[in-house]
């Protein structure tokens, strides 16, 4: 399985992602041909730069022969689509909008005087009609749709009522379509993304000043792990967030990977002591076939003055409310007091309600939380016939071979109670029947 790990320790933007793809082995010519296929009067300027001592590839989109405005995305409401999209200066060029703390903070060049917005439908039509393969077009349109949906929600309008500035649309199309084409060129089965460093400070948007991350960026990254290293600059742009949201299958730590290629994509600024790059690591997964990855949340609480009878009740309640597993370990607390360490494994989205349950049902004053990645064996069920009724066998596999099997407790418990026989007898008979079936299948396949 071919995996790429996207490390966003300095955020992510469209041009940083393209630079990382090129640095990781996607031919620059492939991106140049992709942009030409869109027929939107855009070109790529590709160069090697240094960011805090790290060599990286820098990609700039030239629109009408000039570089883009500071921010990658400016959306307009439908009511403004027939107005000029930029304030004009006295020399006939544009009055630049300064983006405080943006990673794309440079002076824009003069643009055409009569630039109008492009609607999402028009952008999708341009992509659909381009001479590109269907998978690239489908992925690119999905990224644009996620970006449009976020902007529509923020501005409380429909997706059809929002528009890109003409130049912003061209820049975003180049970034997004090349991102789709580049990931396909690397033949990736999965992209895993690190937690994202969003930066800090404020940013000037079309409707005023907002704290970083910008509203659309934050909307796009709901559910993703975010943090700020303290840099007062916008490190994650809306286009970068839309690319991550669409292409990344999950967020987590560095995977078990045999590294083949490493790419660094540069941002515009060069921060002293901080490499302003995105890193893309590509390689083959070292995880066995049939083993899946997932992020779980672990909740822990020390309990030292709770009636032991209540502890069992709490464990049952936690499982009823969605906990994946829960258990207690005897511990020695301060001043020699005996206590229990309550541990709960759960899905991240269930952590809040389970934390509330722990506070409500136990005497603890604090609950610790951490997110971890776990590997899970593929599991299937097979029903076997015992003399007293049907019972399921849970079967775990790896690399096509059975590694573990066990009778389902609840099935065997119900049979034992109904027939007034020992539970262990039912479980032993269920296992023996499973093994007989397994042996019979092997004999027939000879």
End-to-end CA distance of the chain: 31
Place of tokens 């609950």: 367
SS3 85: coil
DSSP tag of 103: T
CA dihedral 234, 49, 271, 274 (to 10 degrees): 100
Q: Do the strands 42-51 and 196-197 form a parallel or antiparallel pair, or are they unpaired?
A: unpaired
Please enumerate in sequence order all residues whose Cβ is within 8 A of that of 91, keeping only pairs 6 or more positions apart, or say none. Answer: 110
CA distances in angstroms from 135 to 142, 170, 177, 192, 281, listed in the order given: 11, 20, 11, 20, 23
pLDDT digits (tens, 9 = 90+) for 105-141: 333 333 333 345 678 889 999 999 999 999 999 999 9
Between 344 and 372, where is the model more confident? 344
The reply to whether 292-366 and 379-444 are identical in fold is no
What is the rounded distance in angstroms from the CA atom of residue 164 to the CA atom of residue 123? 9
pLDDT tens digits for range 18-70? 999 999 999 999 999 999 999 998 999 999 999 999 999 999 999 887 775 54
DSSP 324-382: SEEEEEEEE-GGG-EEEEEEEEE-GGGHHHHHHHHHHHS--S--EEEEEEEEEEEEEEE
pLDDT at 116: 54
Q: What DSSP line would sit under 399-437, residue for residue? A: TTEEEEEEE-HHHHHHHHHHHT--HHHHHHHHHHHHHHH
Token pair of 421, please? Answer: 């026989």
What integer pLDDT is reported at residue 97 of this predicted model?
Answer: 31
66 class by beta-carbon count within 10 Å (0-12 exposed, 13-18 middle, 19+ buried): middle
Q: What proportion of the chain, given as a percentage, has pLDDT over 70? A: 85
Q: For strand 226-227 and strand 196-197, is the pairing parallel, antiparallel, or unpaired? A: parallel
Which residue is associated with the tokens 């515009």? Answer: 268
Torsion of CA 261, 220, 171, 86, to 10 degrees: -150
Tokens representing residue 319 in the block:
């499982």
Res. 165 pLDDT band, cuts 50 70 90: low
pTM of the model: 0.64
The first and second tokens of residue 130, run together, are: 């381009």
Comparing CA positions, the residue from 200, 192, 194 lying closest to residue 217 is 200
pLDDT band at 302 (very low <50, low <70, confident <90, very high): very high
Query: Which structure tokens are listed for 397?
Result: 């596999």
CA distance 31 to 261: 18
CATH architecture, range 292-366: 2-Layer Sandwich (3.30)
Report the alpha-carbon distance of residue 239 to residue 248 in Å, rounded: 14
Give pLDDT, residue 290.
60
Pairing of strands 277-285, 257-266: antiparallel
319-343 per-position pLDDT tens digit: 999 999 999 999 998 888 889 999 9
SS3 28: helix
Fold assignment, 379-444: Ubiquitin-like (UB roll) (3.10.20)
Distance CA 385, CA 391 (A): 6
Return the minimum-mean-pLDDT range out of 241-245, 285-289, 323-327: 285-289
What CA–CA distance (Å, rounded) separates 243 from 4? 14
What does the domain layout of the chain look like in residue ranges?
2-285, 292-366, 379-444
């Amino acid at each position: 399985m071919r995996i790429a790990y996207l490390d966003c320790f300095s955020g992510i933007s469209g041009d940083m992602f393209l630079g990382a793809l090129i640095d990781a082995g996607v031919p620059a010519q492939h991106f140049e041909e992709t942009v030409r296929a869109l027929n939107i009067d855009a070109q790529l300027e590709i160069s090697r730069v240094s960011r805090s001592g790290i060599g990286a590839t820098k990609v700039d989109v030239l629109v009408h022969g000039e570089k883009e405005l500071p921010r990658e995305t400016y959306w307009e409401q439908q009511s403004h689509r027939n107005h000029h999209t930029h304030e004009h200066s006295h020399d006939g060029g544009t009055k630049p909008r300064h983006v405080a703390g943006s990673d794309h903070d440079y002076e824009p060049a003069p643009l055409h005087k009569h630039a109008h917005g492009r609607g999402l439908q028009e952008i999708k039509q341009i992509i659909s009609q381009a001479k590109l393969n269907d998978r690239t077009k489908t992925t690119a349109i999905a990224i644009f749709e996620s970006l449009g949906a976020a902007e529509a929600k923020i501005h409380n309008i429909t997706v059809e009522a929002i528009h890109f500035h003409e130049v912003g649309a061209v820049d975003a199309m180049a970034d997004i379509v090349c991102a789709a084409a580049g990931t396909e060129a690397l033949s990736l089965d999965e992209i895993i993304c690190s937690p994202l460093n969003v930066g800090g400070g404020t940013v000037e948007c079309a409707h005023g000043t907002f704290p970083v991350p910008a509203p659309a960026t934050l909307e796009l990254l709901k559910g993703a792990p975010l943090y700020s290293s303290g840099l007062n600059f916008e490190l994650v742009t809306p286009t970068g967030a839309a690319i991550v949201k669409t292409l990344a299958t999950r967020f987590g730590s560095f995977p078990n990977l045999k590294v083949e290629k490493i790419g660094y994509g540069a941002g515009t600024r060069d921060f002293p002591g901080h490499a302003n790059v995105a890193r893309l690591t590509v390689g083959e997964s070292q995880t066995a076939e049939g083993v899946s990855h997932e992020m779980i949340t672990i909740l822990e609480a020390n309990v030292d003055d709770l009636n032991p009878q209540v502890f069992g009740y709490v464990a049952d309640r936690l499982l009823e409310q969605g906990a994946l597993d829960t258990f207690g370990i005897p511990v020695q607390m301060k001043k020699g007091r005996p206590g229990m360490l309550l541990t709960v494994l759960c899905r991240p989205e269930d952590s809040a309600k389970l934390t509330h349950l722990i506070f409500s049902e136990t005497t603890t004053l604090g609950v610790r939380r951490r997110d971890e990645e776990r590997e899970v064996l593929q599991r299937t069920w097979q029903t076997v016939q015992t003399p007293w009724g049907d019972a399921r066998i849970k079967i775990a596999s790896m690399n096509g071979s059975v590694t573990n099997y066990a009778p389902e407790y609840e099935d065997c418990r119900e049979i034992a109670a109904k027939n007034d026989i020992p539970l262990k007898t039912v479980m032993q008979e269920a296992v023996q029947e499973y093994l007989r079936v397994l042996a019979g299948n092997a004999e027939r396949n000879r």
